[in-house]
Amino acid sequence: MSVFELHTPQTDAGLRRPFVRVAVVMRRERIDNRWQPWRWSLSEIIPHEDGFGSAPRLLLKDDTEERWLHPGFRVELFSDDAEGYHLNLTTPQPCFWVVWRMEEEPATAEECIAVPQTVTLSYHDAGRWLDAQETVEQVPAPLEVLLWLQTFVDSHQVEVFKRRKRPESFKSLQDRFGNPARVSTEKPGGPRHGG
């Protein structure tokens, strides 16, 4: 089993940012739908290997599915996004997020395939792409990557504890003299029913 090669400034001279190189595997599966017989989805993230080359390639094809390998993604960590990585780490299932798009014209195969655009470990990045209506999917990140990410967060995150502002609707009302005010929904003259 391959392991992720995690690069940090301490272990890689001349490196500006920590990074890990990954490959994305996309899956095309047959579904029971007469208008759309196939569906694309993110299958997995695996460690990049130099032998993968740089171009997408077909790994598997049969009557029910296809799997395509997309090599050479560099997942960099940015110190100004430590909060985004922290939010990922504190979710029930920390993960890699992948933004992918369908080709507009077939470039790699006879038909259009799903092509990953970018990979991140940042909760903030994933949220921005979702807000932009991009296709974003996730797969669990392995423990070795999570430990590496936690070390980065621990050394870059500056906790800013803000006192939560109480919503205005929960503040007590005061009259113009600063005394507690009473609000009533009753009409002057007492309650009236039906007219």
Of residues 42 and 13, more confidently modeled: 42
Residues spanned by the domain of 136: 6-156
The pLDDT score that the predictor gives to residue 8 is 78
Q: Could you tell me if residue 171 is inside a domain?
A: no
**What values do phi and psi take at 22, rounded to 5?**
-130, 165
Flag whether 96 is in a domain: yes
pLDDT at 194 over 70: no
Q: What is the per-residue pLDDT for 46?
A: 96
* N-term to C-term CA, the chain: 79
Residue 191 lies in a domain: no
pLDDT of res. 16: 76
Q: What is the pLDDT of residues 40-81, one digit of tens each?
A: 999 999 999 999 999 999 999 998 999 999 999 999 999 889
Take residue 24 and report the two structure tokens written for it.
């994305």
Q: Taking residues 125-147, what's their average pLDDT?
A: 95
> What pLDDT score was predicted for residue 161?
47
Residue 167 confidence (pLDDT) above 90 = no
Q: Quickly state the pLDDT bin for 178 (edges 50, 70, 90).
A: low
The confidence band for 14, taking pLDDT boundaries of 50, 70 and 90, is low
Report the C-alpha gap between 160 and 155 in whole angstroms. 15
pLDDT of 175 above 80? no
140 contact partners, CB below 8 Å, separation of at least 6:
93, 94, 95, 96
Angle in degrees, 0-180, between the axes of helices 143-156 and 82-89, rounded to the nearest 10: 140
Determine the pLDDT at residue 71.
Answer: 97
Q: Which residue has the tokens 């919503």?
A: 167
Structure tokens at 55: 């171009």
Q: What is the mean pLDDT of the chain?
A: 84
Can you tell me the mean pLDDT for 122-135? 94
pLDDT at residue number 168: 57
In a domain, 125, yes or no: yes
Specify if 41 maps to a domain. Answer: yes
CA 51 to chain centre: 28
Distance CA 78, CA 73 (A): 16
Averaged pLDDT, 150-160? 80
Phi, psi of 71, deg, nearest 5: -90, 170
CB 143 within 8 A of CB 137: no
Total domain count, the chain: 1
